[in-house]
Amino acid sequence: MSRLVTVSNRVALPSQLQAAQGGLAVGLRSALEESGGMWFGWDGGVDERIDGLRQPRVQTANGVRYATLRLSRLEYDRYYLGYANQVLWPLFHYRMSFVHCRRERIEGYWEVNRLFAEHLPPLLEGDEIIWVHDYHFIPLGQLLREQGVEAPIGFFLHTPFPPWDVFRALPGHEPLLEALCRYDLVGFQTRIDRDNFLDCLTHYRPQLQRPRAEVFPISIDVDQVAREAQRGYNSQQGRRLQQSLRDRRLMIGVDRLDYSKGLRNRFEAYEALLEQHSEHRGDVVFLQIAPVSRGDVPEYEEIRQYLEYLAGHINGRFAEYDWVPLRYLNRGFHRSNILGFLARSDVGLITPMRDGMNLVAKEFVAAQDPGDPGALVLSRYAGAAEELDGAVLVNPYDVDQMVDAMHQALTMPLGERRERWQQMMDALRRQDVHRWRKDFIQALHDAHRARGSEAL
């Protein structure tokens, strides 16, 4: 069996196993720990003294080899903060007005991709398959081929892929499309993303040799999440949360503090809920956990300030001396705590404006008590909505509809909650994180073989 080598910008190093790092790190960690192999990427640090040359740091834990590189300040600014987070991220989330593309950012992006392409081949031992992750490393496959790497190379995009008319606004989009076509296999979270990509190729150059492009929705380890959620439910933090609520119902949101997550509209909907449905005042608490993410990007600082204002406004308007309607926490928690909090919640509020998948939505479902499950309010623009149609699906641009959905979730009869939950659990069991990894790897082997025979 070939050894799996995954490459991603974000690597969950063994020393950081429990910290909040987003869904890619969570999904890849469970995939890699099951199969073994190597994880190659950025170590999350910036070294002011680096000037060009450096060596990867290699460590091993739980059967996984971790090889990481550190970035210089300039590389971090241009490649990560600049091109990845202020060009590709907003563009791929359909937020064209947040795209700030400058030539030095494009150059910085390609330079860091070249750096990783040069450092990977010496770490390979032969008989590997290489699985590249996310928008940070679109050119990597092509650059590895130029280094003489012949192994199967696949790419998986964790974010949405936008339609042609949005994508073509990107200066220098052509080399990115060409680079994607050099992979044996390109994977997407949903059918819409895959179809947008294929449509881009049709518009750009119909005669270009297409890679195999398929849908592989990332997921969770359902039983492991359920077990950990149960432990979290009974943990000291889980019990303290319950005591603080008394008999009030809990609605929960867990999102990196990102403009794509729809927090502004969610807060506005909650304010309108309290305004229109006075019966929920004093009876419901909304806990929003929002760890700061990419805080050096101006748009993230702006949304943070606005949410602080809105949270203060909502609490100022409705709080009583013995009840605070909104608990807004600007910090991250260990995932085991998050799962315990999800298990203690009556309603999950997952309402991104657009999201590749959203693993929290899946974790919320797996964390529920089968006998008395909570209800999920889920944006139709989260990738997870394609599978979790037992949720109360909402349009996050329609604040009034979200008010109705929150009210529906808070008053949903037990029978309906059970039925919807069962439907969602069945979907999660059909397509879990193990299946995600196996399906991708199998398709990558097949695609590589097929390309090889085409070339003969």
Ligand X SMILES: O=c1ccn([C@@H]2O[C@H](COP(=O)(O)OP(=O)(O)O)[C@@H](O)[C@H]2O)c(=O)[nH]1
335 binds, among ligand X, ligand L263DTV3, none (CB under 5 to 8 A by kind): ligand X
Q: Which is nearer to ligand L263DTV3, 143 or 218 (CB)?
A: 218
What's the token pair of residue 312? Answer: 């203060």
**Residue 173 to residue 170: CA distance in whole angstroms:** 5
Q: Which is nearer to ligand L263DTV3, 136 or 448 (CB)?
A: 136
Based on the residue annotation, tell me whether 158 is a catalytic residue of this protein.
Answer: yes
Does 41 bind ligand L263DTV3 (CB under 6 A)? Our answer is no
Of 18-26, 68-76, 198-206, 273-281, the segment contacting ligand L263DTV3 by CB under 6 A is: 18-26
Residue 329-368 contact track with ligand X, rule CB under 6 A, x = bound: ---xx-x--x------------------xxxx--x-----
Based on the residue annotation, tell me whether 277 is a catalytic residue of this protein.
Answer: no
**Residue 368 to residue 230: CA distance in whole angstroms:** 9
Active-site position among 133, 158, 280, 448 = 158
Interstrand relation of 153-156 and 185-188 (parallel, antiparallel or unpaired)? parallel
Does 23 bind ligand X (CB under 6 A)? Our answer is yes
Of 16-24, 58-66, 275-283, 317-325, the segment contacting ligand L263DTV3 by CB under 6 A is: 16-24
- Rule CB under 6 A: which of 317-336 touch ligand X? 332-333, 335
Residue closest to 116 by CA, chosen among 153, 159, 89: 153
Minimum CB distance to ligand L263DTV3, residue 389 (Å): 17
User: Which one among 86, 142, 159, 351 touches ligand L263DTV3, defined by CB under 6 A?
Assistant: 159
Does 293 bind ligand L263DTV3 (CB under 6 A)? Our answer is yes
**Residue 106 to residue 89: CA distance in whole angstroms:** 14
Does 355 bind ligand L263DTV3 (CB under 6 A)? Our answer is yes
Q: First vs last Cα of the chain: how many Å apart?
A: 24
User: Which one among 90, 211, 262, 291 touches ligand X, defined by CB under 6 A?
Assistant: 291
**Residue 321 to residue 305: CA distance in whole angstroms:** 26
Does 144 bind ligand L263DTV3 (CB under 6 A)? Our answer is no
Q: Which is nearer to ligand L263DTV3, 284 or 433 (CB)?
A: 433
Q: Which is nearer to ligand L263DTV3, 191 or 317 (CB)?
A: 191
Enumerate the β-bridge partners of residue 253: 288
Does 142 bind ligand X (CB under 6 A)? Our answer is no
Does 11 bind ligand X (CB under 6 A)? Our answer is no
Interstrand relation of 57-61 and 64-71 (parallel, antiparallel or unpaired)? antiparallel
Indicate the residue whose CB is closest to ligand X.
23
289 binds, among ligand X, ligand L263DTV3, none (CB under 5 to 8 A by kind): ligand X
User: Which one among 177, 225, 359, 441 touches ligand L263DTV3, defined by CB under 6 A?
Assistant: 359
What's the token pair of residue 288? Answer: 């929003």
Q: Write down the H helix ranges in 183-297.
A: 191-204, 222-234, 236-245, 263-276
Does 362 bind ligand L263DTV3 (CB under 6 A)? Our answer is no
Does 88 bind ligand X (CB under 6 A)? Our answer is no
**CB distance 388 to 361 below 8 Å:** yes
291 binds, among ligand X, ligand L263DTV3, none (CB under 5 to 8 A by kind): ligand X
Tell me if residue 154 falls in helix, strand or coil.
Answer: strand
Q: Which is nearer to ligand X, 177 or 343 (CB)?
A: 343
Residue 159-188 contact track with ligand X, rule CB under 6 A, x = bound: ------------------------------
**Residue 428 to residue 388: CA distance in whole angstroms:** 8
Q: Which is nearer to ligand L263DTV3, 158 or 335 (CB)?
A: 158
The residues, any chain, with a CB within 8 Å of residue 83's CB and separated by 6 or more, are 101, 105, 106, 108, 109
**Residue 454 to residue 451: CA distance in whole angstroms:** 5
Active-site position among 221, 355, 432, 448 = 355
Residue closest to 293 by CA, chosen among 272, 318, 263, 273: 263
- Give the total of residues touching ligand X (CB under 6 A): 18
Q: Count Cβ neighbours within 10 Å for each residue of 147-177 and write b for 16 or more, e otherwise.
A: eebebbbbbbbbbbbbbbebbeebeeeeebb
**Residue 173 to residue 178: CA distance in whole angstroms:** 9
Angle between helices 222-234 and 236-245 (to 10 degrees): 60
Q: Which is nearer to ligand L263DTV3, 158 or 417 (CB)?
A: 158
Does 134 bind ligand L263DTV3 (CB under 6 A)? Our answer is yes
**Residue 5 to residue 40: CA distance in whole angstroms:** 7
**Residue 190 to residue 357: CA distance in whole angstroms:** 8
Q: Site residues (CB under 6 A) for ligand X? A: 20, 22-24, 26, 254, 256, 289, 291, 332-333, 335, 338, 357-360, 363
Q: Site residues (CB under 6 A) for ligand L263DTV3? A: 10, 22-24, 27, 134, 158-159, 218, 293-294, 355-359
Positions annotated as catalytic residues are 158, 355
